[in-house]
Amino acid sequence: LPLATRFPRISEYAGTGPTEEQYKRVTIPLIRGGIFYKNDWIDLSSMVTYISKSNNIDQQNLTKPGTTEGKTVLLIYNIQTLGWTTSAEINPFKNFHMHALFTYQKPVYKNYNASVTFSDGQSMGVNANNMIVKEIPQVLIELDPKYDITKNLNAWLSFRYFGKTYANLQEALYFNGHWETFGGINWNVNKKLSLGVSVINIFNEKGAKGTISGSELITKQEAGKYDGKYMSGSYLRPFTVEFSAGIKF
């Protein structure tokens, strides 16, 4: 049972940071176990992992829904995750290699509660206890095929699937699962020069990801009021072609 601990960071005392009495050392216990299988063309492993992190410190800005008024509150909370990961390194024929990975995980908040009183006297609270950690998908898939055309020239693809991801603390707002795709060709011209071309978002998939600013106090019961409304967040990078060159002296 590996167990990591750490002392406070200076940044955690900034603003409304904890007092000496409030601060407790962060502990990170980890339990992991699994099986593996290997032969001439495949290396397969599967494992289950439990990890938690106690006494996380967060200074959360809580914005009153529908307004620009916000209050910063101090939160000291825990996170725990139970996950299953299976990965494979596959070499079915000469010059071809495939990396594949599947992960199912359930990271949840523990002891995550806060309340705030705004200038009009209204009090509101956030309770994310046992809810999925925002921005972290429960399902992850990676597929990375690569083919060596010659000793110095290879072509590759990379597919990443991110499952449904919550955009606020109380599981009220979320982004649907999406794929992120990449591909390219790398050419080692000689010992000093390498060239490459890569494509980002091959299928030009559109959508959003990350979090939605000012949404932390929105609950599942209130989420319907925001249907069709514009809210700020991050977007998927559009279709892009990039060229690169590396020179060694």
Q: Three-class SS string for the chain?
A: CCEEEECCCHHHHCCCCCCCCCCCCEEEEEEEEEEEEECCCEEEEEEEEEEEEEEEEEEEEEECCCCCCEEEEEEEEEEEEEEEEEEEEECCCCCEEEEEEEEEEEEEEECCEEEEECCCCCEEEEECCCCECCCCCCEEEEEEEEEECCCCEEEEEEEEEECCEECCCCCCCEECCEEEEEEEEEEECCCCEEEEEEEECCCCCCCEECCCCCCCCCCCCCHHHHCCCCCCCEECCCCEEEEEEEECC
- Give residue 9's pLDDT: 64
| CATH code linked to domain 3-247 | 2.40.170.20
- Give residue 48's pLDDT: 97
- Give residue 192's pLDDT: 93
| Of 113, 117, 147, nearest in space to 130 by CA | 113
- Give residue 82's pLDDT: 95
Domain boundaries defined on the chain: 3-247
- Whole-structure pTM value: 0.84
* 64 phi/psi in degrees, rounded to 5: -65, 120
pLDDT tens across the length of the chain (249 residues): 566 666 666 666 555 666 666 667 788 899 999 999 999 999 999 999 999 998 888 888 888 887 888 888 888 899 999 999 999 999 999 999 999 999 999 999 999 988 888 888 888 888 889 999 999 999 999 999 999 999 999 999 999 999 999 999 889 999 999 999 999 999 999 999 999 999 999 999 988 888 887 788 888 888 888 887 777 778 889 999 999 999 998
- Give residue 209's pLDDT: 86
